[in-house]
Chain A
Amino acid sequence: MEAEIAAPVETATVPPVGRRRRRRYSQLSRGDKITLWLMAGIPTLIHVVFVWVPAFVTIALSFTKWDGLKLGTWQPVGFANYWAIFTVFDGKFFPALFNNILLLVFLSVCSTVGVLFAYLLDKNIRGSAIYQSIFYMPVVLSLAIVGFIWKSVMYSPRQGLFNVVLGRTEQGNQIDWVGNSEKIFQFHIPGLDTPLGLTKNFAAILVAMAWRHIGYVMVLYLAGLKSVDPAMREAAAIDGCNEWQAFRRVIFPVMKPINVVVFVITVIEALRAFDIIFALKSPIGTKVLGVLVRDNLVGEGGGSVGLGSAYGVILLLLCLGFIIWYLINNYREAES
């Protein structure tokens, strides 16, 4: 590839010779180059067409009012959609944003638990294969399926496992797990009518998500731990490290690539959360930004493409914020 980049300069100075020379010096055959172009070009094309084009179209649409029915009928409205989100729909937007934040905090805790499980299972305790299977099983299910399972098997007011075990299936004393939007804690923000807080049904959904997320992180981390050179543990033991010191000072730093993956997955899962909540028919109190995007864009109510796109752009900016912050941090460490 370097040769190719340099090529135009050479051709500019001494065109015929340069071209011949480049061909002679290039280590890549013609076939190699075609292969390279195809291998880099096709994914790039797909990426641009399916990721970047829609992203820019979304940004453009967020400044319009459009019912999504006929192309070309959009009217530019400037920042009106954003204005609406922060004024008219503040009672929807901020609780959804806060739910995403709660999710981020909660999934970080789950990731830590997953790391702990991985560390314990790595100790070759008896029956570790069984534990691994048990924790990993939910991971093969999509979050939407996890939602269906928890809704019908665990949380159903009449037949759900929890209510049956707790003896709360009678009319009048049933626990309404996914419907109860009472807040466990809440606080007021000046200028915002709706109090922010954690609703009971969102907490119930968090538990269902933990069921899957912990196993996911555990398996990732376990794979990493298996590849850690045992000599390092021995060295740490010889140097008199206790278990915690060995993990904190030796294993954890060595595991940096996996740590990064786990961190990124946690953030992404928290921000893109949508499927499980949608599968539960997005009860009040559980909405996250992804659901707001969907509600305005598609579905029978999908007539506010501008508004939905504006929610999408806000979500994009949040993700970009995290990514940029992460990249800057990473490069800084690499430089020092």
Chain B
Amino acid sequence: MSEGYEQSPSPRDVGFNIVSRRNVIIGAAAVAGAGLLAACGDDKDSSSTTPAASDTTAAAASDTTAAAATDTTAAPSGDAVTVGVNEAEGTKPYDGAKAGLDATGVPYAGNFVDHNSFQDNITSYLQQPDDVFTWFAGYRMRFFAEKGLAGDISSVWDNLPDFTEGFKTASTGNDGKQYLVPTSYYPWAVHYRKSLFEEKGYTVPTNKDELLALATKMQADGLVPFAYANDGKWPVQGTFDILNMRLNGYQFHVDLLAGKEDWTGEKVKNVFAVWTTLLPFHQENPNGRTWQEAATALENKEAGMFYLGTFVSSNSTDQAYLDDLDFFNFPELDAAIGATALDAPIDGFMMAGSPKNAEGAMAMLTAIGSLDFIDAVNAVNPSAVPANSKFDSSKFTPIQKKSAELVGSAEFIAQFLDRDTSPDFVSNVIADAFANFHADPSTIDTILDDIETQKSQYL
């Protein structure tokens, strides 16, 4: 593992677009006036088939495409840039991406693919990629860059004044060059219903004792403290990440996933020991439950909290519930470590290793890094938080605003377990291991031994 794998943005030093108190108030007023936007959320596994109310916006935006397509001022080359996007037609993220790409003014030919298929077929896709394609920051981005499958776009970054150093670091490969233009990010946090907390007199916990006290009180009130799911074997990876970062710190997370730390060591065993003590506060049998079902338990006030990405809200269209939904940072478990790290995956666009239209691709990526792009995307699909620091925070939805604040206050940002290490290792070893742990927590020592032995095959 080269040193570069350890790089990750530390937003407080370098500033994610932290919203100042004043802006928050102004923004809140503006948003409240504009009417709240529903269905915020990432698209991970989301089955949103309703082309949302913003259809007209998208249609209007595509009308401008026709004009934009002929307007070649922004494009130095005649050929249209091919763009691969991991969103299928008919979804809100698709409308957003399309509106954004249209707004760039660069002539392009879009190749829109369903989210999961795109991710699953990335290996074969990269044999003949589009000039520009969607991907995300993290281990795999650097890996593709190292293999020459992604193009060096350092020259594009010379023209991207709107991004903070944190995002630049997250977009940098092991060779110190940039390979990604970030578009948006979303944090993982503990979601809860404000009304339930008010009704029962709960307060947001900030440390382990408060968390345990709250969970115990919830159980006494007949609630399951944490909704919990692991269908697809990725949701609990988030729980592992946060427990690991709370107990062992961010650097250990990085080293463990880079293969430098021992999975059978005391530190990892401690994570599972704490996890085991917390399991009784979670919904039983998560292996067969989808996150959508768990989100429903939160919505129905059967569960008090749910630790998941902010896309949790995309499971519901009930406006009253969405207004009631709020989240807080996962409390600290060890005062010496604090609660300064969290998972906040960053999405963005990369360039092919050898694009057919390099000039056009660079122009497209520069445009994607501009305010126009993200403005157009956000107008249609305000789910994740724009990475562009010049983005007008008064346009934030409440969830975006809270997300930006949460991430802005964090000292270390991780990308998520399967983005911070080799995805083969995660999907072939870790995913099953965690599921086995939930099937029978007492077998954890054997499970960790297996991880450590199998790790050598991947890292």
Q: Which residues of A line the B interface, CB within 8 A?
A: 67-70, 84, 88-89, 91-92, 155-158, 171-172, 174, 176-182, 193, 201, 281, 283-285, 295-296, 298-304, 307
| B454/A89 in contact, CB under 8 A | yes
A180 to chain B, nearest CB (A): 6
Closest to B427 in A: A301
Closest to A152 in B: B290
| A281/B285 in contact, CB under 8 A | no
| A179/B287 in contact, CB under 8 A | yes
| A157/B288 in contact, CB under 8 A | yes
Provide 19 A-B residue pairs closer than 8 Å at the C-beta atoms, listed in order of the A residue.
A70-B147, A88-B456, A171-B302, A174-B285, A181-B435, A193-B446, A281-B231, A281-B233, A284-B436, A298-B121, A299-B427, A300-B423, A301-B424, A301-B428, A302-B120, A302-B123, A302-B424, A303-B123, A304-B424
Chain B residues with CB below 8 A from A88, complex form: 453-454, 456-457
Chain A CB within 8 A of B262 CB: no
A181 to chain B, nearest CB (A): 5
A18 to chain B, nearest CB (A): 52
* Among candidates A69, A155, A178, residue contacting B126 with C-beta atoms closer than 8 Å: A69
Chain B residues with CB below 8 A from A300, complex form: 119-120, 122, 140, 418, 423, 427
| B149/A69 in contact, CB under 8 A | yes
| A172/B284 in contact, CB under 8 A | yes
| B288/A201 in contact, CB under 8 A | yes
| A84/B287 in contact, CB under 8 A | no
| A180/B302 in contact, CB under 8 A | no
* Among candidates A155, A296, A301, A307, residue contacting B426 with C-beta atoms closer than 8 Å: A301
Chain A residues with CB below 8 A from B46, complex form: none
Chain A CB within 8 A of B283 CB: yes
B 278-302 binary contact with A (CB < 8 Å = 1; else 0):
0000011111110001001100001
* Among candidates A172, A179, A304, residue contacting B428 with C-beta atoms closer than 8 Å: A304
* Among candidates A89, A179, A302, A303, residue contacting B288 with C-beta atoms closer than 8 Å: A179
- Of the listed residues A69, A193, A298, the one surrounded by the most CB atoms of chain B closer than 10 A to its CB is A69
Tell me the interface secondary structure of chain A in the complex: loop
Tell me the interface secondary structure of chain B in the complex: helix
Residues in B413-446 with C-beta less than 8 Å from chain A: 418, 422-428, 432, 435-436, 439, 446
A139 to chain B, nearest CB (A): 27
| B287/A284 in contact, CB under 8 A | yes
- Kindly state the separation between the CA atoms of A63 and B16 in the bound complex, as whole angstroms: 47
How many A-B pairs have beta carbons closer than 8 Å: the answer is 111
Q: Which residues of B line the A interface, CB within 8 A?
A: 119-124, 126-127, 140, 147-149, 224, 230-233, 283-289, 293, 296-297, 302, 418, 422-428, 432, 435-436, 439, 446, 450, 453-454, 456-458
Q: For the A-B complex with A69-B149, A181-B439, A295-B427 known, give 13 more contacts whose Cβ atoms are closer than 8 Å.
A: A155-B288, A158-B296, A171-B297, A174-B284, A176-B289, A179-B285, A179-B288, A180-B288, A180-B439, A181-B435, A181-B436, A298-B124, A301-B427
- Kindly state the separation between the CA atoms of A307 and B418 in the bound complex, as whole angstroms: 20
Closest to B227 in A: A171
Chain A residues with CB below 8 A from B453, complex form: 88
- Kindly state the separation between the CA atoms of A284 and B456 in the bound complex, as whole angstroms: 22
Chain B residues with CB below 8 A from A179, complex form: 230-231, 285-289
| B293/A307 in contact, CB under 8 A | no
| A171/B224 in contact, CB under 8 A | yes
- Of the listed residues A177, A284, A300, the one surrounded by the most CB atoms of chain B closer than 10 A to its CB is A300
Chain B residues with CB below 8 A from A174, complex form: 284-285
* Among candidates B435, B436, B457, residue contacting A304 with C-beta atoms closer than 8 Å: B457
Chain B residues with CB below 8 A from A178, complex form: 288
Chain A residues with CB below 8 A from B127, complex form: 69
- Kindly state the separation between the CA atoms of A158 and B432 in the bound complex, as whole angstroms: 24
Contact A283/B288 with A69-B147, A302-B123 known, Cβ cut-off 8 Å: yes
B426 to chain A, nearest CB (A): 7
Closest to B418 in A: A300
Closest to B230 in A: A179
| B427/A181 in contact, CB under 8 A | no
| A176/B285 in contact, CB under 8 A | yes
Chain B residues with CB below 8 A from A67, complex form: 147
Closest to B435 in A: A284
Closest to B296 in A: A158
Chain B residues with CB below 8 A from A181, complex form: 287, 435-436, 439
4 nearest A-B residue pairs (beta carbon) = A179-B288, A301-B427, A179-B287, A176-B285
